[in-house]
Amino acid sequence: MSDTNTSFEPVRIGLVSISDRASSGIYEDKGIPALQAWLGRALRNPVQWEPRLIPDEQAQISATLVELVDQAGCDLVLTTGGTGPAPRDVTPEATLAVADREMPGFGEQMRAISLRFVPTAILSRQVAVIRGKALIINLPGQPKSIAETLEGLPNASPPAAGIFASVPYCIDLIGGPYLETDPEVCDAFRPKAARR
């Protein structure tokens, strides 16, 4: 679990699982628990979670992202699901629709990690964007893939950096709280001048 030491700044994180079937109760959502479990191990900051389970509806996804950033005040929003090429996969479009700026490196690295396992990783359309002072990232739908893309493949040859190593510094640069990670889970990278 997250270390609730008061020396670490609190952070508010939105977790959005996008699935027609899970949101209608056909099966249990595994995205939000997987995100919460990994982040709970990786972050030392006290976290306030803002979970949302919604269907693959573009307008609803966009509205949820806006609500989490503009009303709930999330510093980081992670989505899972809806990033493939199927007609109902509209998470990237909904995310880009609410963006101030796009951060293409996150999607590029997620696909590079997933390509180590399956050739169909090139079908993934995950994007990351900045809205105001918040970072929004689309993640894969499977819990194993979520952990791999966040954490990377440190023991692979050659190793692959996970995307979360860059998240704390990105949030620094856009005016958010200073995120502290457990280096055993994720060694966040910051230039020396940016470290506290």
- State the pLDDT at residue 121: 94
**The pairing of beta strand 128-131 with beta strand 101-102:** antiparallel
Q: Which parts of the chain register pLDDT below 50?
A: 1-4
Q: Do residues 78 and 13 make contact, with C-beta atoms less than 8 angstroms apart?
A: yes
pTM, whole model, 2 decimals?
0.95
In the CATH hierarchy, which fold is given to the domain comprising 11-194?
Answer: Molybdenum Cofactor Biosythetic Enzyme; Chain A (3.40.980)
Closest by CA to 69, choosing from 39, 47, 42, 100, is 100
Distance, CA of 121 to CA of 116 (rounded, Å): 9
Distance, CA of 150 to CA of 165 (rounded, Å): 8
- State the pLDDT at residue 2: 44
- State the pLDDT at residue 123: 96
Q: What are the CA-CA distances from residue 36 to residues 15, 71, 80, 99, 166 (Å)? A: 8, 21, 12, 24, 18
- State the pLDDT at residue 17: 96
- State the pLDDT at residue 6: 61
- State the pLDDT at residue 58: 98
Distance, CA of 25 to CA of 19 (rounded, Å): 10
